[in-house]
Structure 1
Amino acid sequence: MNESCLEISKASACLFKDYKQSEDSYDNLFVLTHLGQLKQMEALISSKNISNNCLVVLYSQKNLTVPKTVHDQYSSAFKKAIFVEIPFGINKLDFPKLKKIEKYYKKIVMLSQPRSLYLNSFEGHYAVLTSIAQSQSVKIILVEEGTATYKFNLKKMTQSSKDSTLSYNFVRKNFMSTVGETQSFKKLVKIYKNNKELYKQSKIFVNQIVKDEKFQKNLIEIIGSQHVKASLVPFKEFDKAYASFPSLIKEGFGVKDVDYFLIHEVINDESEEDAREVIEKYNITENDVLYVSQRYHLDPEQYANTVTAILTRMISGEQTVFIKLHPKENKKIYDSFKYLEFVSNKKFVVIEESQFLIESVIRLSKISQLVGLTSTTLVYGPLVSPTTKSISIAQKLIKMLPPTQTNIKGIETIESHLDIIKIFDNIEFK
């Protein structure tokens, strides 16, 4: 590991290689990867009065900005912060990488000796961690992170085992497209060490087979340890969970002990002030409509024009539609909505600011309608403002968009995301 590339300046922080057992013990271990999860965990700590906490931040060398941001912003809610460099691509099944991460997780659990482990995730290498923690009688706690946490509630979430083994056809296909293409193989001539073509293609063939997920799965099943094998199945045996939809968590995970928790109900003075500034600047009222845009692989102009057509039919004469664009929105989409703002005499208004919590705006303004495609805001908006009606226009958008090559990929993604938000009964679908 090359952890030295990450600069550590806080006295309470250290790199994994420097982490040693101290006289201090920590009751709770919080494991996360990015700033959003940090804010989620800190809000939970604040609202539930959780004390004596240790933070574990996972990162890779591919992106040092994220752990640096977490380092700079984590609060005194944590007595210690350990920054652990994990192998890049660890989210894919890879026996050597999982074997390495198993050693890291064992050391962390053994040295910190927590009573409870708090996680947002439950698949792959996180299942390795939960297996290790469970073997040490550590209480394992799930903290909801958006709607993806509820994917076990999907009826489509059935795992098929028929494709879990490495097939003969797969091996044969890769062999014939690599080694089989060499003249040496075709002519069955004697192989010499200097036959670079055969060597090169043989190496590609081996790499393709070894990197295949089915091969890795078979390898883990055969020689993996108890903890590494745990990566093959999502972890569901949580002792406790914190979630905004307790009944759905109980149904999806079978967790009996679930506490209600919604980060957007934890009042933050800074986010509230930012929200008030936006509301006052644009004169957003409880009679108005808010459209939450998302980035999808769609033709920008067709997307903007179709959304405009749908929204125009939905609103009454007295309402203003405020458009909250994604921070990294395509400029063509921005330009299209700005043109709409101009020709509509500001019946449609683009909110220019991006650095504010939209849920805080919804809570304070009590806006009449919240409209979007598959945004998680559609799920959480009505929780922070019960009088706000949440509406998804994704199905109507899909019907109206031309099924061009450009749009097909985006439409497929929208449909898969729709499956998740249809779990929640506080959204109306158009």
Structure 2
Amino acid sequence: MNKSELVVSRPSAYYFEDFLGNPLAYSNLFVLTHLGQLKQMEALIKSKNIKDNCLVVLYTFKNLIVPQIVHDQYSNFFDSVVFLEIPFGVNKLDFAKLRLVEQDYKSLISSISPENLYLNSFEGHYAILISIAKSRSIKSILVEEGTATYKLNLSKMTQDNEEDLNLKFLRSKFIETVGQTQLFKKLVKTYKYNKDLFRQSKRFITEVSKDERVQKKLIKTVGNEHLKASLQPYKDFDQAYASFPGLIKSGFGIEDVDYFLVHEVVNEKAVEGAEAVIKKYNITSRDMLFVSQRYHLDPVLYVKSVAAILNSMARSDQTIFIKLHPKESENTYNLFKRVEELSGGRFVLIEDTQFLIESVIKVSKIRCLVGIASTTLIYAPLISPATKSISIAYQLIELIQSKKNNHKGIKTIQEHIEILKIFNSTEFLEVVQLPS
């Protein structure tokens, strides 16, 4: 990788290799990957007045934009910031890649010698890092990051659904690769070199060796205690900060859990941004706000269905504001824009992107927040007790399920619904027959 593409230019920022050449010890080590986690950690540091901090930003050569954004926006809450490159694809079980990560994590822990390790994540290579820290009596602290933190509260997530690594698996891979060659199909009785057979045989070996079941078996068989930790979500944290302490205690078994909600920490810049948006669009407390999400759905049917549902829900004195996902497709944007143009002011598309929707909810105290399975639905009533959260997930599924290319997106929505139902903060809209 050409590291010049990631510009590390601030006085306290280092590449990992450079930092190891002149390491510095810190009491607190924060490890994260993106801007949302950075803001979460900075809010925690401000709220709890945590001092003597080092931040480590993990990144891959495939995505240098995200670490660059973190580099450009981290605050003076951190005395040093280290950028550590990890192998691309390390989120999947891969013995060789995880072993490389393990060596870097050991070097990281040895160089900084922290007393406390703060993390938002607890699976895969993060579990390896926690295991190393645990072996050196370093306190591990989990900091909530949205609804993903609570997925262990789903009973099916705590079960090991490992598929058997058996002859059926090998036979299937063989048929997909070597079995596709003409030489194999015709059972030609010859030892003549065949390029296609060689290529497919090589593919067979590669696909079998890279399959996660094989990698899992390899880690179980020859991996050390730290590598084996990657096989399960890591639950044995010493402490946690979360907005739903009871759920963390039941999901992880952590006894020492302190209440923490990032949106309660005053952020003057975020409040100013929210006030500007509220003034620009004339958002009032009586209105309705819909937070869109990206799913694998037909955009025309999605937008048409959402508009119909919202129109049936809203009272005559309410304006329906639409907040799109930051990475929404241009097609979806254009469709919602068309809805706005035809609505006579009933629908308003919020086109500003550089603001936090939670801050808008907090400042405006908007009466009704509507979504599918957005994390915002869970936090809105905590941020603004006057705000009611409503999910239209079931009604939306009812309207779009007839189209086959929506089935993948529907499956994802259903999975997200199960997480949403863990909390008692969201009301689910009853499925009714809408006027055509």
**What is the TM-score of this pair, normalised by structure 2?**
0.94
For the residues of structure 2 that align with 1:23 and 1:417, how far apart are their CA atoms?
42
Q: Which deviates the most, 127-136 or 326-335?
A: 326-335
Q: Which amino acid aligns with 1:142?
A: L
Q: Deviations over 1:19-53 (max 9, x none)?
A: 23757420000000111111111111111100000
- Give the aligned partner of residue 150 of structure 2: 150
Q: Which amino acid aligns with 2:197?
A: L
Q: Percent sequence identity over matched residues?
A: 58
Match of 1:20, SS state, is helix
**What is the CA-CA distance between 1:282 and the residue it aligns to?**
1.6
Q: Which deviates the most, 238-247 or 23-32?
A: 23-32
Given the superposition, is the C-alpha separation of residues 133 and 302 from structure 1 closer, same or farther in structure 2, using an over 3 Å criterion?
same
Match of 1:187, SS state, is coil
Q: Is this contact kept in 2: 1:21–1:112, CA < 8 A? A: no
Q: Which deviates the most, 124-133 or 326-335?
A: 326-335
Q: Deviations over 1:126-156 (max 9, x none)?
A: 1110110000000000000111100011133
For the residues of structure 1 that align with 2:59 and 2:218, how far apart are their CA atoms?
26
Q: Would you say how many aligned residue pairs link Structure 1 and Structure 2?
A: 427
Q: Which amino acid aligns with 2:381?
A: P
For the residues of structure 2 that align with 1:23 and 1:410, how far apart are their CA atoms?
47
For the residues of structure 1 that align with 2:349 and 2:21, how far apart are their CA atoms?
53
For the residues of structure 2 that align with 1:290 and 1:419, how far apart are their CA atoms?
23
For the residues of structure 2 that align with 1:212 and 1:173, how far apart are their CA atoms?
12
Q: Which amino acid aligns with 1:148?
A: A
- Give the aligned partner of residue 41 of structure 1: 41
- Give the aligned partner of residue 433 of structure 2: none
- Give the aligned partner of residue 432 of structure 2: none
**What is the CA-CA distance between 1:162 and the residue it aligns to?**
5.3
For the residues of structure 2 that align with 1:24 and 1:102, how far apart are their CA atoms?
20
Given the superposition, is the C-alpha separation of residues 64 and 408 from structure 1 closer, same or farther in structure 2, using an over 3 Å criterion?
same
1:30 equivalenced with 2:9 (yes/no): no
Given the superposition, is the C-alpha separation of residues 221 and 361 from structure 1 closer, same or farther in structure 2, using an over 3 Å criterion?
same
For the residues of structure 2 that align with 1:282 and 1:184, how far apart are their CA atoms?
68
For the residues of structure 1 that align with 2:181 and 2:189, how far apart are their CA atoms?
10
1:84 equivalenced with 2:111 (yes/no): no
- Give the aligned partner of residue 363 of structure 1: 362
Q: Which deviates the most, 175-184 or 33-42?
A: 175-184
Q: Is this contact kept in 1: 2:23–2:112, CA < 8 A? A: no
Q: Which amino acid aligns with 2:57?
A: V
Q: Which amino acid aligns with 1:150?
A: Y
Q: Is this contact kept in 2: 1:21–1:111, CA < 8 A? A: no
Matches within 5 A, 1:392-407: 392-407=391-406
1:250 equivalenced with 2:267 (yes/no): no
- Give the aligned partner of residue 341 of structure 1: 340
- Give the aligned partner of residue 188 of structure 2: 187
CA RMSD of aligned residues (A): 1.8
Q: Which deviates the most, 179-188 or 72-81?
A: 179-188
For the residues of structure 1 that align with 2:338 and 2:181, how far apart are their CA atoms?
59
- Give the aligned partner of residue 259 of structure 1: 258
Match of 2:76, SS state, is coil
Q: Which amino acid aligns with 2:105?
A: Y
For the residues of structure 2 that align with 1:274 and 1:75, how far apart are their CA atoms?
19
Q: Is this contact kept in 1: 2:141–2:237, CA < 8 A? A: yes
Given the superposition, is the C-alpha separation of residues 65 and 181 from structure 1 closer, same or farther in structure 2, using an over 3 Å criterion?
closer
Q: Is this contact kept in 2: 1:382–1:388, CA < 8 A? A: yes
**What is the CA-CA distance between 1:181 and the residue it aligns to?**
4.7
Match of 1:99, SS state, is helix
Q: Is this contact kept in 1: 2:35–2:70, CA < 8 A? A: yes
Matches within 5 A, 1:110-259: 110-161=110-161, 163=163, 165-182=164-181, 186-190=187-191, 195-259=194-258
For the residues of structure 1 that align with 2:162 and 2:328, how far apart are their CA atoms?
41
For the residues of structure 1 that align with 2:310 and 2:23, how far apart are their CA atoms?
61
Match of 2:322, SS state, is strand
- Give the aligned partner of residue 9 of structure 1: 9
1:372 equivalenced with 2:375 (yes/no): no
- Give the aligned partner of residue 304 of structure 2: 305
Matches within 5 A, 1:101-112: 101-112=101-112
Q: Is this contact kept in 2: 1:3–1:15, CA < 8 A? A: no
1:69 equivalenced with 2:65 (yes/no): no
Q: Which amino acid aligns with 1:421?
A: L
Match of 1:342, SS state, is helix
For the residues of structure 2 that align with 1:253 and 1:133, how far apart are their CA atoms?
18
Q: Deviations over 1:88-128 (max 9, x none)?
A: 00000000001100000000001110000000000000111
**What is the CA-CA distance between 1:277 and the residue it aligns to?**
0.9
- Give the aligned partner of residue 382 of structure 2: 383
**What is the CA-CA distance between 1:314 and the residue it aligns to?**
1.4
Gaps of 5+ in 1: none
Match of 1:340, SS state, is helix
Given the superposition, is the C-alpha separation of residues 161 and 268 from structure 1 closer, same or farther in structure 2, using an over 3 Å criterion?
closer
Given the superposition, is the C-alpha separation of residues 183 and 394 from structure 1 closer, same or farther in structure 2, using an over 3 Å criterion?
closer
Given the superposition, is the C-alpha separation of residues 368 and 143 from structure 1 closer, same or farther in structure 2, using an over 3 Å criterion?
same
For the residues of structure 2 that align with 1:263 and 1:181, how far apart are their CA atoms?
54
**What is the TM-score of this pair, normalised by structure 1?**
0.95
Q: Is this contact kept in 2: 1:16–1:82, CA < 8 A? A: yes
Q: Which amino acid aligns with 1:178?
A: T
For the residues of structure 2 that align with 1:315 and 1:381, how far apart are their CA atoms?
18
- Give the aligned partner of residue 408 of structure 2: 409
Match of 1:61, SS state, is coil
